[in-house]
Amino acid sequence: MDFAFIITIFLIGFIGSYISGMLGIGGSIIKYPMLLYIPPLFGLAAFSAHEVSGISAVQVFFATIGGVWAYRKGGYLNKTLIGYMGVSILLGSFIGGYGSRMMSEGTINLIYGVLALAAAIMMFIPKKGIDDIPLDQVKFNKWLAAGLAFIVGLGAGIVGAAGAFLLVPIMLVVLKIPTRMTIASSLAITFISSIGATIGKITTGQVDYASAAIMVVASLIASPLGAIAGKKINAKVLQNLLAVLIFATAIKIWMDIL
């Protein structure tokens, strides 16, 4: 592992984790394609889809810890929402992460593309009035939240993501959770989800530990910085940034699949 490779992996982890903390996602939706495509552009060793998903799973675990810590004050973390969705997505992500060893790289990329496309479509659905709801008066369908989280966990565990890129639009569009509460709570749910995905990837030998360690260091530095920045940005701007990010990633993945 040479110096250029270490710097490249660190920068990928830093950029992805900063966005993770700012937008309430685990960061895999941006780090997955970056890890897959950027190293070969600089003549560095290419990762397989299995290795990328494994590294992403471990990195998300640490990136979300930093983000949740930064949002721990202010009433942004909805403990009931985190409990119902967290347990469900943990179960789903463990099953998906363990079962992914039986899938081809093409299948993993296809599932990632489908998830990203679904998330992109939801982000462009109008979300009027959700940020007018006081944080202490937020209500939602608990069992619908749990069921959707389980489904997200299955798909996310397969690609080594924690599913926040799908959780965020579901929480905004379906459950009608205010933007900042969505961002903070999704980081906590994503942390729980990443436990299942990480265990599944490690037990099936899909993790490059040296590269994962570099990504973890970058995550612990960048994720809290991103969360601090996210608190200062207008909620509508945050929604639009996430929508554009998810849409661009979906296009890239589908261009490669097709």
Task: Find where tokens 């997505």 sit.
Answer: 89
Give the span between the Cα atoms of 200 and 203, in whole angstroms: 5
pTM: 0.76
> Tens-of-pLDDT digits for all 258 residues of the chain?
688 889 999 999 898 888 878 877 766 667 777 888 888 888 888 888 788 878 887 888 888 887 888 888 778 899 999 999 999 988 887 788 777 777 777 777 787 778 778 888 888 887 778 888 888 888 999 999 999 999 888 877 776 565 677 888 889 889 999 988 988 898 888 888 777 777 877 888 888 888 889 988 998 898 889 888 888 888 778 878 878 877 876 787 687 777
DSSP string, 63-122: HHHHHHHHTSSSS---HHHHHHHHHHHHHHHHHHHHHGGGS-HHHHHHHHHHHHHHHHHH
133 DSSP assignment: S
pLDDT score, position 161? 61
pLDDT score, position 7? 92
